[in-house]
Structure 1
Amino acid sequence: MELKQIVENWVATFNRGDADAIAEFYCDNAVNHQVANDPIVGKDAIKQMFASEFATADMFCIVENIFQDGQWVILEWKDPIGLRGCGFFQFENELITFQRGYWDKLSFLKANNLPIPQ
């Protein structure tokens, strides 16, 4: 399967808010580093991160662009309220080994009426 298609499937799973299913896209020792947060290491920890995030806020990803270059896929996204971001996914054997995401955490927290850390 094209890695670009795997990211499209990842987005569909993300939009369902299914932490168990989204964890299956990652290898056991994957790293997910959303640059506004500390890196999360390991498939189980990534699953817990998504479970917590899905329980905290309604999130929905609208794909603007997906680009593939070798083992890397770049996702440009927005959400229904206009927040935008970019994600980079590195793959090995069709599993995500590394993910880095760039987005505005302060705008996200304010838009979802979540507490702002001091």
Structure 2
Amino acid sequence: MSPKQTIQKWVEAFNQGDADQIAEFYHHDAINHQVANEPVEGKEAIRKMFAEELAAADMTCIVENIFEDGDWAILEWKDPLGLRGCGFFQIIDGKIKFQRGYWDKLSFLRMHNLCPPDESGGNL
């Protein structure tokens, strides 16, 4: 499978909301770094991250574009609430070795009513 095809299948798994299925797209020592968070290292830790995040919020990835360059795929996405972002995926032997994602964490938290209260008692 090409990097683009791998990411197309990854999006399908993501939209099914199954962390175990999503984790199967990663190498055992993969790194997933969503820049708004600390990097997550290892397939099991990545599975756990997706399980927790999918339990906390209803997420859907709508593909806007997928570009391919060598062993990299670049995903431009949006969600039904209007959030947009992009992800860079290094695909080695048909599995994700490294992923970096860019999106607005504060907007995501607000859209899903997950934003912690600020010190004045209101929401950030």
Q: TM-score, normalised by structure 2?
A: 0.93
Please list every run of 5 or more consecutive structure 2 residues that lacks an aligned counterpart in the other structure.
Answer: 119-124
1:108 matched residue in structure 2:
108
Report percent identity of matched pairs: 66
Q: Which range moved further: 108-117 or 69-78?
A: 108-117
User: Which residue identity is paired with 1:5?
Assistant: Q
Does structure 1 retain, via aligned residues, the 8 Å contact 2:84–2:103? yes
Runs in 1 of length 4+ with deviation above 4 angstroms? none
2:14 matched residue in structure 1:
14
* Residue aligned with 2:4, SS: helix
1:57 matched residue in structure 2:
57
- Considering only CA atoms, is the larger Rg found in Structure 1 or Structure 2? 2
Cα deviation, 1:33-70, whole Å, max 9, x if unaligned, reads 00000000000000000000000000000000000000
By how many angstroms is 1:116 displaced? 3.0
Alignment of 1:1-118 (within 5 A): 1-116=1-116
Please list every run of 5 or more consecutive structure 1 residues that lacks an aligned counterpart in the other structure.
Answer: none
User: Which residue identity is paired with 2:34?
Assistant: Q
> How many correspondences in the alignment?
118
